[in-house]
């Protein structure tokens, strides 16, 4: 069966609302699991515009069956068939459709995914990073709150590779256990996974187990500044 975009959106609206209610979980719990804002979930319920990946992850977390349009388009091995999306080549922002794409500032600086790096200045790169507007809004992000940096080092491998392009949400500075943040400790800027410690301090964790975990005690938190949460990355495999 062929589903129109409007029909898919209507099915998605019903799916997300029903799945949350039936699970007994809250929108906030789902948002935390997916790494999006509660407002993004609310928007999904009103528009039905949800990425396939977020539908799959939501269904798994909520213990729900997949929407009918998706189950009917499953590929071999039970995986959803991917819909090809054309690659848009561009040389300057003027080449992009402003109704579909926006550009995010890329700073000419690296965030250390190692033991820390001192950044004294960060001029803008000549070419920004482009993103689809609907994808940003689907995840509850505002263009003015985002910027890009390059990861440097291997302390966050395999989650983040050396040289990966990182998208940072500078408004998302409240630490949620297990999320990855751009932070400054003293004069060093780092990308690390953070957890609250029992004493109210912070555990600063590298995904690469060759790097020891560090802890910032509660009385040392004044020397820590959360610059934003890492919400997306891209790099060479």
Domain ranges of the chain: 5-78, 101-234
C-alpha 151: how far from chain center: 15
Tokens of 32: 């935390």
Exposure of 103 in the CB half-sphere (CA atoms within 13 A) = 18
Q: Please tell me which residue, 236 or 140, carries the higher pLDDT value.
A: 140
Sign of CA dihedral 49, 54, 58, 60: positive
3-class SS string, 176-197 = CCCCEEEEEECCEEEEEEEEEC
Tokens of 148: 């890009």
- Could you confirm whether domain 101-234 is CATH 3.30.300.90? no
The rounded mean pLDDT for the chain is 83
Q: 58-70: per-residue pLDDT in tens? A: 999 999 998 888 8
* pLDDT interval class at 217 (50, 70, 90): very high
**Quick one: pLDDT at residue 4?**
76
> In 35-185, which ranges are continuous DSSP H helix?
38-47, 52-62, 68-71, 133-138
Please give the Cα distance from 142 to 27 (Å, whole number).
20
pTM higher than 0.75 = no
Give the burial class of 132: count Cβ atoms within 10 A of its Cβ; 0-12 exposed, 13-18 middle, 19 or more buried.
middle
Tokens of 145: 């709150």
Please give the Cα distance from 237 to 231 (Å, whole number).
19
Instruction: Count the Cβ atoms, other than its own, within 10 Å of residue 205.
Output: 20
Please name the CATH architecture into which domain 5-78 falls.
Answer: Orthogonal Bundle (1.10)
| Distances from the Cα of 126 to the Cα of 88, 136, 201, 210, angstroms | 19, 22, 39, 35
**Same fold for the domain at 5-78 and the one at 101-234?**
no
Q: 68-116: per-residue pLDDT in tens? A: 888 766 544 445 444 444 455 566 676 677 888 899 988 876 676 655 5
- pLDDT for residue 153 is more than 70: yes
Return all residues near 121 (Cβ < 8 A) that are at least 6 apart: 109
């Amino acid at each position: 069966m062929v589903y129109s975009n409007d029909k898919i959106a209507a099915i998605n609206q019903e799916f997300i609302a029903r799945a949350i209610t039936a699970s007994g979980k809250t929108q906030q719990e789902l948002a935390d699991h997916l790494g999006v804002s509660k407002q993004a979930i609310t928007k999904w319920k009103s528009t039905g515009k949800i990425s396939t990946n977020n539908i799959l992850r939501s269904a798994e977390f909520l213990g729900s069956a997949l929407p009918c349009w998706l189950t009917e388009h499953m590929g071999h091995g039970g995986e959803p068939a991917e819909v090809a999306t054309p690659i848009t080549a561009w040389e300057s922002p003027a080449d992009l459709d402003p109704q579909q794409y926006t550009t995010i500032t890329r700073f000419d600086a690296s965030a250390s995914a190692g033991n820390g790096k001192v950044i004294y200045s960060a001029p803008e790169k000549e070419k920004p990073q482009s993103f689809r507007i609907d994808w940003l809004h689907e995840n509850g992000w505002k263009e003015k709150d985002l910027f890009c940096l390059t990861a440097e080092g291997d302390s966050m491998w395999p989650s983040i590779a050396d040289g990966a392009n990182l998208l940072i949400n500078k408004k998302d500075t409240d630490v949620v256990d297990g999320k990855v943040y751009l932070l400054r400790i003293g004069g060093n800027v780092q990308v690390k996974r953070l957890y609250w410690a029992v004493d109210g301090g912070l555990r600063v964790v590298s995904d690469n187990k060759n790097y020891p975990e560090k802890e910032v005690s509660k009385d040392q938190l004044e020397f820590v500044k959360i610059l934003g949460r890492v919400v997306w990355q891209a790099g060479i495999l």
